Chains A and B, each alone.
Chain A
Amino acid sequence: MSHLSERPEKPAVGVALPHESAVLHVTGTALYTDDLIHRTKDVLHAYPVQVMKAHGRITKLDTEPALDVPGVVRVLTGADVPGVNDAGMKHDEPLFPDEVMFHGHAVAWVLGEDLEAARLGAAAVEVELDEQPALITLQDAMAADSYHGARPLMETGDIDAGFADSAHVFTGEFQFSGQEHFYLETHAALAQVDENGQIFIQSSTQHPSETQEIVSHVLGVPAHEVTVQCLRMGGGFGGKEMQPHGFAAVAALGAKLTGRPVRFRLNRTQDLTMSGKRHGFHASWRIGFDADGRIQALDATLTADGGWSLDLSEPVLARALCHIDNTYWIPNARVAGRIARTNTVSNTAFRGFGGPQGMLVIEDILGRVAPQLGLDPMELRERNFYRPGQGQTTPYGQPVTQAERISTVWHQVQENAGLADRRREIAAFNAAHPHTKRAIAVTGIKFGISFNLTAFNQGGALVLIYKDGSVLINHGGTEMGQGLHTKMIQVAATTLGIPLHKVRLAPTRTDKVPNTSATAASSGADLNGGAIKNACEQLRERLLQVAASQLGANASDVRIVEGVARALGSEKELAWDELVRTAYFQRVQLSAAGFYRTEGLHWDARTFRGSPFKYFAHGAAATEVEVDGFTGAYRIRRVDIVHDVGDSLSPLIDIGQVEGGFVQGAGWLTLEDLRWDTGDGPGRGRLQTQAASTYKLPSFSEMPEEFNVTLLENATEEGAVYGSKAVGEPPLMLAFSVREALRQAAAAFGPSGAGVELASPATPEAVYWAIEEARALRDTAAVDGHSVEALSGA
């Protein structure tokens, strides 16, 4: 067992604990960024001037009328920017644009004494445009050859040989929607100027260091004059990895120019119309199978809808390509990627970060072609799994080191679900019910953990022990509900050997830990946990020396367990508080900065080869649905999941991540339906689903009626803190099982062996059309007497 993964005696990690802020949450006393304005004097409110056209050059921007509105203090425009007028890292994202690039683009911001004044001021600003043609859909962009950013190509083996060896070749296309994050807390920041002219920003951000970096370049000041703090977020899901920076910079600029605190909080309409979303994708593909249904070759092109600026589209696309294999060995592959440039919001990180999109492509292919290969979809999937011990690598060249876990979770979930019996029950149910069909589908995942860009795989921490024995930990990760802080307290208590109540966690601030990476890519616990463990080990080593002298033993023989230091083979004890006090009087340093870097990673973005991931997370889900043949409406009857989180740091937290990720993924694939005005009228490019009333999230009615989550046992991960694995993103992709179950239930309205295509999201309407497709096959088969396989063969 590695030093990193080994757990000491009576560890605080592995204990099921509620969220560290649970009591604050339930009593309404947990503070979020926008709650702070009620504790701050003389706050100005910032309100965006949104232009409701999809594309056009600004020919006039008159802010004077706004200043006539009572309570308006100032209007911020590009002319006010002392530094660089850019909100991104690719310098293609002007904070105050000269050109409106999407419907709802903010071109100026009004500061008012109250929100009503700022709103009325924003409405009074006069903007005129030289309107330009707008590309709204992926089809628009592909037809216009409108792309931006990298054009990666991932190649392995020899696809020509692969197709030559294939007994069955299929081609197809698939376009699927993006997803709105819909964190319950919209984007918000509060900026203040402190006594020395420095800027202090409280922001709902997953990436405080980058918020700091962008504020500093907008203001034209060094980073050490800008401090960013994030108390907690009301959800992030990737939507606050890149998007908060420009908004925070507006607040900071306002504070700098007026000397007063400036607050902004997007209302839901603004958040939906101004902030980026999960990328929708288009895929065109050709795939070859041998006579037994084993994949021989895949040739695919993935086109991501990047929106108007690059934002994180390049790494999102890279991760999509790196996950098109999912759990399947593809010996010969050629997968090209490109990023469409459209006049819509700039799409961004969202839980899974392109991985779900890549995996959806292959899962859709397998779900579609299984009937044509005459194979049960589960059988087809299992035949193509990576096999252990055969030296198989991913299409980008990384060895698949735990291939056996793909099969382990696959078989365990079938056992937990009682799959064999239930498939028989479902067959009987379907035979007896002409208007209602059920189906159960099992899908698995393999998800790579680490940022593709190697440099981001580092974390920092600062651990302070006070004279009274209490411990305060700081780290670079942010809390958005995922329970990172809870886990970090458990890691610190474990490493120091003290009870949990001795450890308190301070809010995430850039003046405590510098140059942090985004809390993203599921890496928060791996990176920050590694850093906290490192800091606590430094402190523990110093304290063991002190304890050794007090106990009359060698330091190597001293253990601190549950807050008591003891030497091996001795009765003497030294309580933690006493030990700390003694250390202080011996002038032993009681603070330590910790650092962690993930070892063994390498990645060449140019050749698209390397081993970018420290390890893979695995899981499998079995989902049963019931579909109403009259309407296409459906319900999720039961879900069983077996998921690999390594040895869990905090089981209650991890199960929550698995369940929440699954339901969020089911939302993406079934319910959440982003619609834009694609007509040529005056509303072209407008987001039509810009409210909770039109963009529907999963509610209680979408929760699986029976929901059983099991964490894989004896799953120690040698390469991560205390043997754990990342959990934030991977479970989202377990929801593929919902989509495939819906496909199979729809197909059950057709003749035996029928296959259907299913749009994504699979709304009741989409399922209804799939049912109609199946019924048409049944009617055709009945009339012609032909087999379905013959009709739909490639």
Chain B
Amino acid sequence: MTEARITVNGKETSISPAAPHTTVLDFLRERGLTGTKEGCAEGECGACSVLVARPGVNKPTDWVAVNACLVPAAALDGQEVITSEGLATVGDPGTPPALHPVQQEMAVRGGSQCGYCTPGFVCSMAAEYYRPDRCAHADPTDGAEAHDGTEVHVDAEAHVDAEHGPNGFDLHALSGNLCRCTGYRPIRDAAYAVGEPTDEDPLARRREQSPPAAVATEYARDDSTFLRRSTLAETLRVLRERPDAVVVAGSTDYGVEVNIRSRRESCVVAIDRLPELRELRVESDHIEIGAALTLTEIERRLDGQVPLLAELFPQFASRLIRNGATLGGNLGTGSPIGDSPPVLLALEASLVLADADGEREVPLADYFTGYRQSVRRPGELIRAVRIPLPLSRVAAFHKIAKRRFDDISSVAVAFALDIEDGTVRRARIGLGGVAATPIRALATEAALEGRPWTAETVEAAARVLRGEGTPMDDHRASSLYRSAMLGQSLRKLHAQTTEAVSS
């Protein structure tokens, strides 16, 4: 028997007798903290949102909201968790608790009706409340400057102001929370009404201290083990010894498999806190992004330096998912409808793959070999993603989905074009959702390169693009619509670059 301990609402507790696959959600509920709810068990509804203390971007520690339904409890060994119950300050017996400012605003403004989604909303809202760089009247376009300062950045979100409050609250912080009762208006009002944390606020003060260290963990029950090693080298040795091991970072894919498809693994290896996978370096000819950085961390640390990524992030799942999900995970699972591969293909990214023998670099365009298959060998990890510099000057990411926040693409198209003196010098186009793997639209690229960036060129190339891949019919979209959207995406890009049409 081995141990794992989590500090929940300030009180440290063993997770035993939880199984290694037991989620944080089930662990909390077993402990009687039933405010954390299961609504979907796949990270879509946010009823299970809780706060976790993580290494910070602007302060030593950030309070980050995650889906408790996806993360194994063993993955939080040594970590600190706050639930909706822990946000309120309990008074004397018989007296009502002193509400946290976000709880207060939600309560008085009619932010809860049935109340079932409310604790999750409260936790997601609290995380944004404590975001150090949230400040009143922030200009949401700040920091969107191009890496070389000359980028033509096509912003698909022209109404960005409708998604930021006067207190700097970014509504995308709640993009992973669903409410079926209120219609959201009172919740938005509550979010936009919260002020600044006081100096005495213990959670605000906690941000100034170091985050909980990652703890080497070996939690075994019955025939199943959850492992976390301290270094990359040790981890790679484990992967060589246990080729059956499943590698997890944010568990945003694995957690769904556990809950929805009852997947049970004998060995799960966590890599999300390996320092070697958490570096972000900007070099003269490339940017290297650690495979285990969360999308939120990349978004905040790049701060708009790669406009195509900056356009991707708000459209990639929800804030709750981005707080756990990594580029390594999105590429490692190899889904043809992942949203990062089209963008990274357009950026001509390559992957640094590591195993116990060393490293190799593989262009992303050569990485995928079939449906959820790649050239990655057993025992090999994605250590980092490299994006070559300089970046193309015209960049856009068009995601076609039913819902604007937190939906899965029916089609995704990423463009990176160099247009000089009215001529397309270079075109890189990544596609998702049109084949068994993410693909480059090579024929379309050829139809553009060397030609003038005119309506005629675009019309001809759009017809080529419409024929790329083999889109299928499913519940998300018809194949006809998917094909049409490929062609339309290029026409839209042309209109955006030539007519200054924002939407």
Interface residues, chain A, with chain B CB atoms under 8 Å away: 18-19, 21-32, 35, 38-39, 116, 119, 181-185, 232-235, 237, 267-269, 433, 435-436, 480-483, 626, 628, 630-631, 633, 635, 652-653, 655-656, 659-664, 671, 673, 675, 688-689, 691-694, 696-705, 707, 763-765, 768-769
Bound complex: CA of A436 vs CA of B492, how far in Å? 11
Judging by beta carbons under 8 Å apart, are A268 and B180 in contact? no
Bound complex: CA of A181 vs CA of B499, how far in Å? 43
Judging by beta carbons under 8 Å apart, are A28 and B484 in contact? no
Q: Which residues from chain B contact A697 at a C-beta distance below 8 Å?
A: 178, 180
Bound complex: CA of A533 vs CA of B485, how far in Å? 59
Bound complex: CA of A656 vs CA of B179, how far in Å? 12
Instruction: Tell me the minimal C-beta distance from B407 to chain A in angstroms.
Output: 6
Q: Is B393 an interface residue (CB 8 A)?
A: no
Best-surrounded residue of A633, A653, A663 (most CB of chain B within 10 A)? A633
Q: Is B87 an interface residue (CB 8 A)?
A: yes
Instruction: Tell me the minimal C-beta distance from A400 to chain B in angstroms.
Output: 29
Judging by beta carbons under 8 Å apart, are A26 and B99 in contact? yes
Q: Which residues from chain B contact A267 at a C-beta distance below 8 Å?
A: 38, 41, 259
Given A25-B112, A235-B114: A692 and B403 interface contact (C-beta under 8 Å): no
Judging by beta carbons under 8 Å apart, are B122 and A18 in contact? no
Can you offer 22 A-B residue contacts whose CB atoms are under 8 A? A18-B109, A19-B113, A23-B96, A27-B88, A29-B85, A30-B115, A38-B30, A119-B262, A182-B180, A183-B180, A185-B37, A234-B37, A235-B181, A481-B114, A482-B113, A483-B113, A656-B183, A691-B260, A692-B42, A693-B256, A700-B175, A705-B159
Interface residues of B in 172-211 (CB under 8 A from A): 174-175, 178-186, 188
Interface bits B22-63 vs A (CB < 8 Å: 1, else 0)? 000000011011111111111011010000000000000000
Judging by beta carbons under 8 Å apart, are A436 and B180 in contact? no
Judging by beta carbons under 8 Å apart, are A656 and B114 in contact? no
Choose from A21, A705, A765 the contact partner of B115 (Cβ within 8 Å).
A21
Given A28-B84, A433-B501, A655-B110: A691 and B183 interface contact (C-beta under 8 Å): no
Given A184-B180, A435-B492, A435-B495: A675 and B37 interface contact (C-beta under 8 Å): no
Bound complex: CA of A435 vs CA of B494, how far in Å? 12
Instruction: Tell me the minimal C-beta distance from B167 to chain A in angstroms.
Output: 16
Judging by beta carbons under 8 Å apart, are B501 and A699 in contact? no
Q: Determine the residue in chain B with the shortest Cβ distance to A691.
A: B42
Q: Which residues from chain A contact B491 at a C-beta distance below 8 Å?
A: 630
Kindly specify which of B296-304, B416-424, B470-478 makes contact with the partner chain. B470-478
Q: Is B371 an interface residue (CB 8 A)?
A: no
Q: Which residues from chain B contact A19 at a C-beta distance below 8 Å?
A: 110, 112-113, 115
Judging by beta carbons under 8 Å apart, are B36 and A28 in contact? yes
Q: Is B281 an interface residue (CB 8 A)?
A: no
Judging by beta carbons under 8 Å apart, are A689 and B495 in contact? no
Q: Which residues from chain B contact A435 at a C-beta distance below 8 Å?
A: 492, 495, 499, 501
Q: Determine the residue in chain B with the shortest Cβ distance to A661.
A: B183
Q: Which residues from chain A contact B30 at a C-beta distance below 8 Å?
A: 38
Judging by beta carbons under 8 Å apart, are A694 and B501 in contact? no
Q: Which residues from chain A contact B501 at a C-beta distance below 8 Å?
A: 433, 435-436
Bound complex: CA of A349 vs CA of B108, how far in Å? 31
Q: Determine the residue in chain B with the shortest Cβ distance to A652.
A: B110
Given A184-B45, A233-B114, A765-B478: A35 and B34 interface contact (C-beta under 8 Å): yes
Q: Is B118 an interface residue (CB 8 A)?
A: yes
Choose from B112, B171, B259 the contact partner of A22 (Cβ within 8 Å).
B112
Q: Which residues from chain A contact B102 at a C-beta distance below 8 Å?
A: 26
Judging by beta carbons under 8 Å apart, are A22 and B108 in contact? yes
Q: Is B372 an interface residue (CB 8 A)?
A: no
Judging by beta carbons under 8 Å apart, are B34 and A693 in contact? no
Q: Determine the residue in chain B with the shortest Cβ distance to A268.
A: B40
Given A27-B99, A691-B44, 20 more pairs with CB closer than 8 A = A18-B110, A19-B113, A21-B112, A22-B110, A26-B88, A27-B119, A28-B35, A184-B180, A267-B38, A268-B42, A631-B485, A656-B186, A659-B182, A698-B184, A701-B405, A703-B188, A707-B185, A765-B477, A768-B481, A769-B481
Given A435-B495, A765-B478: A703 and B183 interface contact (C-beta under 8 Å): yes
Choose from A38, A656, A765 the contact partner of B113 (Cβ within 8 Å).
A656
Judging by beta carbons under 8 Å apart, are A688 and B44 in contact? no
Bound complex: CA of A675 vs CA of B171, how far in Å? 30
Bound complex: CA of A220 vs CA of B477, how far in Å? 49
Judging by beta carbons under 8 Å apart, are B34 and A31 in contact? yes
Q: Which residues from chain B contact A237 at a C-beta distance below 8 Å?
A: 180
Judging by beta carbons under 8 Å apart, are A27 and B97 in contact? yes
Choose from B88, B113, B404 the contact partner of A701 (Cβ within 8 Å).
B404
Given A18-B108, A29-B35, A235-B116: A692 and B475 interface contact (C-beta under 8 Å): no
Q: Determine the residue in chain A with the shortest Cβ distance to B187.
A: A700
Q: Which residues from chain A contact B115 at a C-beta distance below 8 Å?
A: 19, 21-22, 24-25, 30, 232, 234, 481
Judging by beta carbons under 8 Å apart, are A700 and B113 in contact? no
Given A689-B475, A765-B481: A702 and B403 interface contact (C-beta under 8 Å): yes
Instruction: Tell me the minimal C-beta distance from B5 to chain A in angstroms.
Output: 20
Q: Is B288 an interface residue (CB 8 A)?
A: no
Q: Is B489 an interface residue (CB 8 A)?
A: yes
Choose from B37, B108, B183, B484 the contact partner of A768 (Cβ within 8 Å).
B484
Judging by beta carbons under 8 Å apart, are A660 and B113 in contact? yes
Bound complex: CA of A171 vs CA of B99, how far in Å? 59
Bound complex: CA of A633 vs CA of B29, how far in Å? 40
Interface residues of B in 3-35 (CB under 8 A from A): 19, 29-30, 32-35
Judging by beta carbons under 8 Å apart, are B117 and A184 in contact? yes
Instruction: Tell me the minimal C-beta distance from B496 to chain A in angstroms.
Output: 9
Judging by beta carbons under 8 Å apart, are B122 and A26 in contact? yes
Q: Which residues from chain B contact A30 at a C-beta distance below 8 Å?
A: 115
Bound complex: CA of A660 vs CA of B84, how far in Å? 24
Bound complex: CA of A656 vs CA of B174, how far in Å? 19
Judging by beta carbons under 8 Å apart, are A656 and B181 in contact? yes
Given A700-B405, A703-B188: A18 and B503 interface contact (C-beta under 8 Å): no
Choose from A27, A39, A630, A688 the contact partner of B489 (Cβ within 8 Å).
A630
